[in-house]
Chains A and B, each alone.
Chain A
Amino acid sequence: MTRPVLSIHDLSVDIPTRAGVVKPVDGVSYGIAAGEILGVVGESGAGKSMVGNAVIGLLSRPAHISGGEIWLNGNRIDTLQGERIRRVRGKEIGMVFQDPLTSLNPLLTIGDQLAETILTHLPISKAEAEKRVVAALEEVGIPGAAERIDSYPHEFSGGMRQRVVIALALCAEPSLVIADEPTTALDVSVQAQIISLLKRLCRERGTAIMLITHDMGVIAEAADRVAVMYAGRLAELGPVRDVLQQPEHPYTHGLMTSTPLAAMDQKRLHQIPGAMPRLSHMPEGCAFHPRCPRAQDKCRHAPLPAIEDTRAACWFPMQAETAQ
């Protein structure tokens, strides 16, 4: 693999609370190469968005990075402060959130917002910036882009607004785009449009994309590799086809089989017993062991195997034949 655009080593995030310190992200490591879409999947509370926020330096206090390193294009960025992280955030990393309304200023036309971002980060003239705005909007598939640059965000539909946000995220030509549940608020037909747009942009521009979502179907169609998170830790990391078709971690397996799609024509769905542990009551050893059908003594006490050497952070990974 070529040198990754983003690489995260052993990242941990702490939140001090009344009852003690909780770790919403605990020892997570992964990398994303140029032109690659890494799907980060997990249920709510798995810490998948928290990793994205840590990368762009948007953790809201009192949450803070307590360990590990984040490298972007060969520079360490988790130690940057103030103005310097802000510059990296705007220039090198683009961000697409679930709700497109919150990422657009309702009082500025979309043309002004795009032009402002371009002018802040690229040394070009105003006239040239305006040309680029139209080009950027055309690229994300907004019909009649030249006429629509004077429109305000509320004059666009949800899907079009998300396209504007993607244009905004891409206009400074970042090397990494973090898309946090970009299609969750959208209808199925519009979701398909946005996913296909993200894939096209990734391929054409060689941008690395971190696609955070809870939807296994979206991961399957869009991602090259997938990172499965559970209770703040990485459960499994590997090529999307391998992980989804022959999961090694019992949690991934449970997740795959509990979707109604997998239970086609069966009366009952497979269900994982119990619920994800609360951060303040994290079990010892493997966080999944109280719900795991394969758990043994070792899982309850020993620290997890490092994911660098194996695909799944599990002592007793499922073999291909048992996963069937």
Chain B
Amino acid sequence: MALTSNVHDKGRWERFRDSDFFFAFKRSPVALVSFTIVCILVFSAVFAPWIAPTNPFNPASLNLMDGFTPPMEPNAFTGTRFLMGTDDQGRDVFSTILYGMRVSLFVGASAVLFAMVLGIVLGLVSGYFGGWTETIIMRIADVQLTFPSILVAMLIFGIAKGFTPVEYRDQMAIWVLILAIGLSDWVQFARVVRGTTLVEKKKDYVAAALLIGRRPWAIMIKHILPNALSPVLVIATISLALAIIAEATLSFLGVGAPPTQPSLGTLIRIGQGFLFSGEWWILFFPACTLLVLALSVNLLGDWLRDALNPRLR
């Protein structure tokens, strides 16, 4: 009983193009719009040095006389126009946003990646081996969940900062931030991966792999992990939005990105000082960017969750 079959195997891209997933994506306006916005924002952040009209952190390119120029109006002294105005030191707000978004996205993505790797490893180990390993890991996760994650991040940030020598503090601040946000966010990944592992390890394909003498690590990584990736992807996307906001919150509170490398949160902190003296644009544009960025990543994550969840189909 031979099967009819097309001559070549379908490649990854062809399979993706024909998949229900891509079909659903094309038909969802929310997914299309939020995906486009995220792409534009990420692109402009990555290529900020080429897109931004000025480099706001190069003192040579700054002119103090440009300070407090409102958006789209000529400066009273120099006559220069700025798309989104300038701040007190004459820095172009549009450029600072592009550079700030770079920091925000870098910190957010790195923190999520860190949390994801940590969560996947701990989830796989606790789900696969069970027993005391599982009890210890999952109890730590439970305890951590009872604290607000921003509090955990602040705690870790504070401790890590204490261990960093003073002269390296500004340089290390970004990495400490990533560590703090990542450590406050691994629990969800670990829980979901553990749940999937518990289900998958009982299935017979795992028994078949055990039978041929595969080691636990090979089974966890090659067999179980690929089946856990869909929910992990969903959580990663939603976590990215949360991590960006967490970073902004920390920076807004002054414990995050240093003034030499301002993120969107730092810009908002700086901008709020000028709100009541009438220079609204210094706060308004960074805040809007943060809102749009976090919202579209979050909407994309929500859509992914619905699209990848077979129960909702």
| Complex A–B touching at CB under 8 A | yes
Interface residues of A (CB under 8 A from B): 18, 273-275
B20 at the A/B interface (Cβ < 8 Å)?
yes
By a CB distance below 8 angstroms, the chain B residues around A275 are 1
Give the distance in Å from the alpha carbon of A18 to the alpha carbon of B313 in the complex. Answer: 14
Give the distance in Å from the alpha carbon of A275 to the alpha carbon of B4 in the complex. Answer: 13
By a CB distance below 8 angstroms, the chain B residues around A274 are 1
- Asked if A18 contacts B1 (CB within 8 A), the reply is no
Task: Give the distance to chain A from B5, nearest Cβ to Cβ, in Å.
Answer: 14
Q: What are 5 of the A-B contact pairs (CB < 8 Å)?
A: A18-B20, A18-B23, A273-B1, A274-B1, A275-B1
Interface residues of B in 38-93 (CB under 8 A from A): none
Question: Which residue of B has the minimal Cβ distance to A274?
Answer: B1
Task: Give the distance to chain A from B231, nearest Cβ to Cβ, in Å.
Answer: 24
By a CB distance below 8 angstroms, the chain A residues around B1 are 273-275
Give the distance in Å from the alpha carbon of A18 to the alpha carbon of B21 in the complex. Answer: 12
Question: Which residue of A has the minimal Cβ distance to B20?
Answer: A18
Give the distance in Å from the alpha carbon of A18 to the alpha carbon of B22 in the complex. Answer: 12
Task: Give the distance to chain A from B232, nearest Cβ to Cβ, in Å.
Answer: 27
Give the distance in Å from the alpha carbon of A274 to the alpha carbon of B23 in the complex. Answer: 31
Of all A-B residue pairs in the complex, the 5 with the closest CB atoms, nearest first, are A273-B1, A274-B1, A18-B23, A18-B20, A275-B1
Task: Give the distance to chain B from A66, nearest Cβ to Cβ, in Å.
Answer: 22
Give the distance in Å from the alpha carbon of A260 to the alpha carbon of B190 in the complex. Answer: 49
Question: Which residue of A has the minimal Cβ distance to B27?
Answer: A18
Contact mask B1-35 → A, CB, 8 Å, 1/0?
Answer: 10000000000000000001001000000000000
By a CB distance below 8 angstroms, the chain B residues around A273 are 1
Give the distance in Å from the alpha carbon of A274 to the alpha carbon of B1 in the complex. Answer: 6
Question: Which residue of A has the minimal Cβ distance to B23?
Answer: A18
Give the distance in Å from the alpha carbon of A68 to the alpha carbon of B23 in the complex. Answer: 33
Question: Which residue of B has the minimal Cβ distance to A271?
Answer: B1
By a CB distance below 8 angstroms, the chain A residues around B23 are 18
By a CB distance below 8 angstroms, the chain A residues around B20 are 18
Task: Give the distance to chain A from B97, nearest Cβ to Cβ, in Å.
Answer: 42
Give the distance in Å from the alpha carbon of A274 to the alpha carbon of B20 in the complex. Answer: 28
Give the distance in Å from the alpha carbon of A273 to the alpha carbon of B1 in the complex. Answer: 7
Task: Give the distance to chain B from A17, nearest Cβ to Cβ, in Å.
Answer: 10
Give the distance in Å from the alpha carbon of A275 to the alpha carbon of B1 in the complex. Answer: 9
Question: Which residue of B has the minimal Cβ distance to A273?
Answer: B1
Task: Give the distance to chain B from A237, nearest Cβ to Cβ, in Å.
Answer: 29
Question: Which residue of A has the minimal Cβ distance to B24?
Answer: A18
Give the distance in Å from the alpha carbon of A6 to the alpha carbon of B20 in the complex. Answer: 39
Give the distance in Å from the alpha carbon of A275 to the alpha carbon of B2 in the complex. Answer: 11
Give the distance in Å from the alpha carbon of A273 to the alpha carbon of B23 in the complex. Answer: 35
Task: Give the distance to chain A from B312, nearest Cβ to Cβ, in Å.
Answer: 13
Question: Which residue of B has the minimal Cβ distance to A18?
Answer: B23
Task: Give the distance to chain B from A15, nearest Cβ to Cβ, in Å.
Answer: 13
